[in-house]
C-alpha cells in the first residue's frame, strides 16, 4: 500500500499546476493549455458541400412535387436546373488563363514602353526604333525588374550587329535639295523594312 501511495504521489507530482497537461508538438492548445483535436479542413469542406447538395436537391424535389410533377418529371427538372446552373457558373480555368494573358500583355507593354524610352535616350531615329525593339532579345529580363542598363545592353547588341540602325550624327553640308524629291528610294527602303518585320 505504501508503494501505491508513493506511486500516486509521483504521478501527482508530475502534473502541472491548474491540471494542465503537456500536448504533443504541433497540436493547438486552448486558453487553458489543453490540446484541441486537429481539424481536417478539406474533409470539413467536403462534408459541408455534400450536405448543401443534399439539402438543395431535397428542396427542389419538394418544390417540384408541390407543382404536381411526377417522379420522372422531377428528375428531368432537377437535371435541367443543374445543367443551367453549370452553364451560368464561371469557368475558373478560363478566367485564370484570361488573367494570366492580360498580365503577360501588361508586362510586354511595360517592357516595350521602357525599351522605347531607352532607345530614344540612345539617340535612335524614331523610324528605326520599332525594328530595333523587334530584334532585341529581352528574354533575359523575364521576371526581373526592368533596369536601364539591362535594356540598353540588349538594344546595343542589336546596334552592334546591324550598325546601319545606329543614329547618324552627320549633318548634311553643301548642296541641299529644296522641295519634294520624289522619295521613291526612301519609301522603298521603308516599305522593305516594314515587310521584313511584319509591320505593314
In a domain, 145, yes or no: yes
* Judgement on whether residues 97 and 84 belong to the same structural domain of the protein: no
Residue range 60-83, pLDDT digits in tens: 888 888 888 888 888 888 888 888
Domain residues for the domain of 145 are 93-165
* Judgement on whether residues 159 and 98 belong to the same structural domain of the protein: yes
pLDDT at res. 122:
87
In a domain, 198, yes or no: no
Burial classification of residue 143, based on how many CB atoms lie within 10 Å of its CB (0-12 exposed, 13-18 middle, 19 or more buried)? exposed
Helical segments of 67-147, H only: 71-88, 92-121, 129-135
Least confident of 34-43, 102-111, 125-134: 34-43
Count of domains forming the chain: 2
> For residue 112, which of 133, 126, 132, 137 has the smallest C-alpha distance?
133
Query: With a threshold of 0.75, does the pTM exceed it?
Result: no
* Judgement on whether residues 134 and 116 belong to the same structural domain of the protein: yes
Mean of per-residue pLDDT scores for the chain: 77
* Judgement on whether residues 101 and 152 belong to the same structural domain of the protein: yes
Cα 134 to Cα 128: distance, rounded to the nearest angstrom: 10
Residue range 6-43, pLDDT digits in tens: 444 444 444 444 444 444 455 555 566 666 668 888 89
In the block, residue with C-alpha cell 527602303: 189
User: Is residue 199's pLDDT more than 90?
Assistant: no
Amino acid at each position: 500500500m505504501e508503494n501505491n501511495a508513493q506511486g500516486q504521489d509521483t504521478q501527482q507530482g508530475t502534473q502541472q499546476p491548474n491540471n494542465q497537461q503537456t500536448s504533443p508538438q504541433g497540436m493547438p492548445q486552448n486558453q487553458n493549455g489543453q490540446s484541441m483535436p486537429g481539424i481536417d479542413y478539406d474533409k470539413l469542406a467536403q462534408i459541408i458541400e455534400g450536405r448543401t447538395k443534399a439539402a438543395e436537391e431535397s428542396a427542389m424535389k419538394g418544390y417540384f412535387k408541390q407543382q404536381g410533377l411526377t417522379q420522372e418529371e422531377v428528375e428531368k427538372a432537377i437535371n435541367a436546373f443543374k445543367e443551367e446552373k453549370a452553364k451560368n457558373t464561371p469557368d475558373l480555368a478560363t478566367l485564370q488563363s484570361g488573367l494570366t494573358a492580360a498580365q503577360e500583355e501588361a508586362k510586354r507593354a511595360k517592357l516595350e514602353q521602357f525599351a522605347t524610352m531607352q532607345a530614344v535616350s540612345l539617340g535612335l531615329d524614331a523610324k528605326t526604333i520599332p525594328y530595333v525593339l523587334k530584334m532585341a532579345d529581352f528574354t533575359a529580363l523575364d521576371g526581373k525588374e526592368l533596369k536601364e542598363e539591362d535594356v540598353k545592353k540588349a538594344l546595343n547588341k542589336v546596334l552592334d550587329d546591324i550598325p546601319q540602325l545606329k543614329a547618324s550624327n552627320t549633318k548634311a553640308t553643301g548642296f541641299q535639295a529644296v522641295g519634294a524629291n520624289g522619295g521613291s528610294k526612301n519609301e522603298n527602303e521603308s516599305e522593305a523594312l516594314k515587310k521584313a518585320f511584319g509591320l505593314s
